[in-house]
């Protein structure tokens, strides 16, 4: 039985570990925190997982919250111009509901499930020296690094050919809240995407947290602009106050729904920023051992397109296929490179290109697409379903000539 070590216990690492167990591998996961420590900790992310990513979880019985998480029926896109006035509103229904589960709920339960299903977990932080020692001992046929935060990311070199940015593109501020009123214009659960051109974006994501259904209020602020108030970590109450004050000034249609909101718990806020980066997928350690990076270790995009957990799930599914297909052959450097390139071609490239484009001012052809979508449900639905399969955007959304051709075909139809 082939032995695989996964360092990191997030969406990609645990999904890969659980699916490998089901395929008959001996899998060890190294996790920095126990399930109870995760549950007692601060929120770790925003997330809205769409149909294609959710299907990779269902395949191995990992969809434990299907009947508890709010079924997200689509995206509700709003553009303000000038700030404080809604200039455009686009309900964009999904073919298949999405869902969002607080990673404190999800990763704690998946760690417990991993052990129940026969996996081994070592609860400890891992340094570069530790990782070097583990590979030097030769206990494992393959070591995968799935810890997207912390020092281990630094062992993977930045890929300058695929990394567009050298600085953070948004300041990020998250608050999980109870008590938000439904959207009166579209009262079903949905992701609300509210753009304040030139300044940033506010997302509202119905989710499941430790204390039940909630909403995630998530500001993305252009650095140095009037929305960028989280350069330092703030007290949770002050964090929520600022979140709501910005909503009152720039997205009053969201603020009107917030009269009764309160934080879901004492650790329900998160803020920070990072530079979107693509890294080389194979790292060589001082002793000569090689390890394979996955998901946001090697493809870290800004969350503006909501693709982090989706990309992680798809990376786990792609790596799983490559591992199983390898059979008894060695997991050498060449195989590691091919494994990443397969994932990059399947998912990483399209997501990275689309996300980088959405961080910029919207070009005329995208403005035309969104304007048409506000009047044409066919265009609105295709836009929403691109969040499940971003590869589709390459065919109609990303280039002016393809957008023009598609909109003409819709008009003719």
Residue pLDDT, tens place only, 272-296: 999 999 999 999 999 899 999 999 9
Q: Residue 148 pLDDT more than 80?
A: no
Buried b / exposed e over 136-165, threshold 16 CB at 10 Å, is eeeebbbbbbbbbeeebbebbeeeeebbbe
Residues 178-212 have pLDDT tens digits of 999 999 999 999 999 999 999 999 999 999 999 99
Mean pLDDT, residues 227-231: 94
Domain ranges of the chain: 3-62+102-165+275-358, 72-100+167-272, 364-412
Cβ neighbors of 201 (< 8 A, separation 6 or more) are: 193, 194, 195, 219, 220, 304
Q: Residue 5 pLDDT more than 90?
A: yes
pLDDT recorded at residue 387:
98
Mean pLDDT, residues 320-342: 98
pLDDT recorded at residue 190:
98
Give the confidence band of 150 by pLDDT, cuts at 50, 70, 90: confident
When the pLDDT of each residue in the chain is averaged and rounded to a whole number, the result is 96
Q: Residue 120 pLDDT more than 90?
A: yes
3-62+102-165+275-358 fold: FAD/NAD(P)-binding domain (3.50.50)
DSSP 41: S
Q: Alpha helices of 77-225 — where are they, by DSSP H?
A: 103-116, 128-137
Pick the CATH number of 72-100+167-272 from 3.40.50.300, 3.20.20.70, 2.40.50.250, 3.30.9.40: 3.30.9.40
Yes or no: say if 278 and 318 are a contact pair by the CB < 8 Å rule: no
Give the confidence band of 151 by pLDDT, cuts at 50, 70, 90: confident
Q: Residue 75 pLDDT more than 90?
A: yes
Give the confidence band of 153 by pLDDT, cuts at 50, 70, 90: very high
Q: Cα–Cα distance between 83 and 198 in angstroms, integer?
A: 10
């Amino acid at each position: 039985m082939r032995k695989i070590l996964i360092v990191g216990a997030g969406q990609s690492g645990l999904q890969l570990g659980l699916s490998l167990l089901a395929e008959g591998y001996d899998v060890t996961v190294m996790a920095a925190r126990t399930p109870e420590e995760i549950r007692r900790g601060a929120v770790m992310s925003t997330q809205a997982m769409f149909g294609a990513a959710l299907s990779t979880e269902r395949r191995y019985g990992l969809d434990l919250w299907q009947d508890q998480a709010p079924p997200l029926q689509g995206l509700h896109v709003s553009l303000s111009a000038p700030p404080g006035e809604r200039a455009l509103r686009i309900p964009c229904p999904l073919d298949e509901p999405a869902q969002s589960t607080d990673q404190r709920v999800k990763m704690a339960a998946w760690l417990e499930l991993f052990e129940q299903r026969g996996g081994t977990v070592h609860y400890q932080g891992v340094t570069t020296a530790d990782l070097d020692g583990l590979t030097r001992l030769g206990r494992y046929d393959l070591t995968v690094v799935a810890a997207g935060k912390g020092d281990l990311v630094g062992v993977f070199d930045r890929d300058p050919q695929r990394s567009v940015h050298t600085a953070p593109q948004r300041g990020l501020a998250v608050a999980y809240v109870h008590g938000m009123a439904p959207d009166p214009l579209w009262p079903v659960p949905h992701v609300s995407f509210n753009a304040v051109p030139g300044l940033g974006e506010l997302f509202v994501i119905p989710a499941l947290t430790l204390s039940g259904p909630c909403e995630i209020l998530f500001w993305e602020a252009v650095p140095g602009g009037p929305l960028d108030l989280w350069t330092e970590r703030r007290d949770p109450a002050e964090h929520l106050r600022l979140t709501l004050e910005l909503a009152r000034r720039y997205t009053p249609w969201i603020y009107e729904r917030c009269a009764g909101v309160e934080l879901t718990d004492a650790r329900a806020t998160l803020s920070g920023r990072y530079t979107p980066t693509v890294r080389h997928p194979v790292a060589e350690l001082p002793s000569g051992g090689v390890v394979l990076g996955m998901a946001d270790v090697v493809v870290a995009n800004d969350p503006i397109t909501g693709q982090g957990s989706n990309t992680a799930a798809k990376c786990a599914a792609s790596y799983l296929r490559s591992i199983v297909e390898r059979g008894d052959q060695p997991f050498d450097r060449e195989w590691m490179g091919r494994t990443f390139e397969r994932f990059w071609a399947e998912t990483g490239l399209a997501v990275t290109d689309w996300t980088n484009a959405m961080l910029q001012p919207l070009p005329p052809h995208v403005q035309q697409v969104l304007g048409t979508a506000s009047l044409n449900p066919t265009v609105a639905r295709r836009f929403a379903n691109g969040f499940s399969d971003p590869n589709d955007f390459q065919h109609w959304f990303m280039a002016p000539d393809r957008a023009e051709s598609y909109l003409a075909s819709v008009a003719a139809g």
